Structures are given as C-alpha cells and as structure tokens.
C-alpha cells in the first residue's frame, strides 16, 4: 500500500489515560478494530466485497482536550488500520467516510454493539458506506451474545476473539492500568502462548520488564512461560465467552495449562477485566 501520514492526537495526560472510557476507546481502536484484517482475509464474501475498493474511513471521538481517532485505509483488497487522523498530504481529499461520535462513551457503546449512532459524512458514496457498515457489523461476531452454529463462523469468531484479546491485553498495560503495570514490571522476558489444538490458531503476549507486545502464531524463539492449550474451537469459545469459568474449564478439559498455574490465573483475571471493558 502507498504511503500516508497519520496525524496523531496529542498524548493525553496520565490521569486521563487511566480513566475507564479512555481505556475502552484504546481497546476498541487498537485491538478490536484491527481485526477487520482477519475478516478480509478469512471471509470470502467480505474479501470479494472489498476487492476493488480504494478508500479511507475515519473514526473520530470528540474528547477534551483533544479528539481521538483512527482510520481504515482500503486499497484493492487490503486494509491498513492506523491510529490518528488521515492526512495523505499534497492537497489530497479528506476521508471518503467519517464516523463522528459526540464522546468517547458514544464510540465505545457503538463498538460494544449498543445503540449509539454517529454523525456520518460520506453519504455521497452509498455503495461504499453500505460495505463499511456491513464490515463493522461483522465485528459483532466477537460479542459473547453472538452464538453462530456454522463451523466456519465459529472458527472465525474464535480467531477474531483470540487475536483481539491478546492485543487488548497489551494495550491494557500500555494504557496505564496500575495493577497490570505492576504485574508486568516485575517480570523478565516471558511468553504467554495461546493455542487452539488441532485448529492451528495461535497468538501470544510477550512481557518484558513492564513492556508488552502481542503477536499472532506461535512464538518460536523461546519456550513459553505459560502455554494455554485450548481443546478445539468449542472448548476455547466456552472459556473465552465465559460460559464456564477458568477453573471449571481446566477441570472439564477445555483448556490445559503448561507452566505456572499462578501466572496463568493472573493472566486470565486480566483477560476477564479486558472483556468486561469491551462488553460493559
């Protein structure tokens, strides 16, 4: 994809960054929204729909003292998810579609599947707007209330959820949650691996001296400090959708823990907090 310049909102002061609504916005824009890439990669109908699309779609939440934003950049079947505000430079046009929310809470409610209608600029491209709305609605597949029965949709739901939750854990730490900051600060270089067997779906969280980074697939450079091995799609969804609690999930064979059970339980607690923010 070509080059662009993202105009990033000035950094918020730490007390504000630690507010619940700001953390929720961070998780939605930097963890949930990027999963649109998976939808375009794994959903043939969605991929076909965007195969020839070249456009930018901006999301803006009004906030004091500065607005917060992110945008999707579609270019012939590929999508890039960037934080900040679209500015291609050189007198290029403004975003093709802009969704504007009156507050962080309104944006958060929208992505959580609640009734929160944004202001929309871009009705002059109705076909594109329809495609984008359908793409955003597809993200609702990650909601616990979504219970697809089709095996392909269940697998897609799991993949979206696993990729989102590992990224969200990292953003939760970077967003300034005090307890997770303390938990990560005292750890050396450690890998928390998640894998779904025999599906081959995997993601990980790397923790090192307070810093965190999420990744997809299996981390190859070191043995995991904790490895959560989920028993198939159904076992993984039962735990991640909180149909069973973590301890019961282990007891029923939905998930097996290799490594420190104490740290696995700590990580699960943070996962539950993150899910609470995303669905609350």
Q: Please give the DSSP secondary-structure letter assigned to residue 173.
A: H
- Which residues contact residue 266 at a Cβ distance below 8 angstroms, ignoring those fewer than 6 apart? 183
Does one domain contain both 9 and 99? yes
Same domain, 164 and 273: yes
Distance CA 261, CA 202 (A): 19
- On whether both 166 and 192 belong to a single domain, the answer is yes
Could you tell me how many helices (H) and strands (E) the chain has, helices first? 11, 12
119 plus 163 within the same structural domain: no
User: 121 with 43, same domain?
Assistant: yes
Same domain, 118 and 54: yes
Residues 171 and 249 grouped into a single domain: yes
**Structure confidence by residue, pLDDT tens digits, 170-198:** 999 999 999 999 999 999 999 999 999 99
Final residue in a domain of this structure, among 96, 120, 142: 142
Show the tokens assigned to 258: 């290799």
Q: Which domain holds residue 107?
A: 5-142
CATH number of the domain to which 267 belongs: 3.30.1050.10
Per run of 10 residues, the mean pLDDT along the chain (length 280 residues) is 46 52 95 97 95 96 91 94 82 85 95 91 93 96 92 96 97 94 96 95 98 97 96 94 89 95 94 89
135 and 172 inside one domain? no
Please tell me the total count of domains within the chain.
2
pTM of the model as a whole: 0.90
C-alpha span between 229 and 122 (Å, rounded): 45
């Amino acid at each position: 994809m070509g080059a662009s310049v993202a105009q990033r909102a000035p950094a918020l002061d730490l007390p504000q960054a630690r507010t619940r609504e700001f953390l929720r916005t961070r998780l939605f824009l930097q963890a949930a929204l990027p999963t649109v890439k998976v939808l375009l990669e794994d959903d043939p109908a969605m991929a076909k729909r965007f195969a020839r699309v070249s456009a930018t779609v901006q999301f803006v939440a009004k906030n004091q003292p500065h607005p917060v934003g992110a945008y999707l950049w579609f270019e012939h079947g590929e999508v890039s998810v960037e934080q900040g505000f679209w500015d291609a430079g050189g007198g290029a046009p403004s975003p093709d579609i802009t969704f504007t929310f009156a507050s962080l809470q309104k944006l958060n409610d929208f992505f959580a599947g609640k009734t929160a209608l944004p202001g929309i600029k871009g009705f002059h491209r109705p076909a594109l707007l329809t495609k984008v709305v359908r793409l955003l609605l597809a993200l609702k597949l990650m909601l616990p209330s979504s219970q697809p029965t089709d095996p392909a949709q269940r697998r897609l739901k799991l993949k979206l959820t696993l990729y989102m939750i590992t990224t969200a854990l990292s953003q939760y730490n970077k967003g300034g949650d005090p307890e997770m900051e303390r938990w990560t600060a005292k750890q050396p270089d450690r890998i928390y691996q998640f894998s779904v067997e025999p599906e081959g779906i995997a993601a990980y969280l790397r923790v090192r001296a307070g810093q965190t980074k999420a990744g997809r697939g299996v981390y190859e450079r070191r043995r995991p400090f904790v490895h959560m091995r989920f028993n198939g799609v159904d076992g993984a969804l039962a735990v991640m959708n909180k149909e069973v609690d973590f301890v019961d999930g282990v007891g029923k064979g939905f998930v097996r823990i290799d490594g420190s059970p104490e740290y696995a339980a700590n990580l699960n607690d943070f996962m539950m907090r993150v899910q609470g923010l995303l669905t609350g």
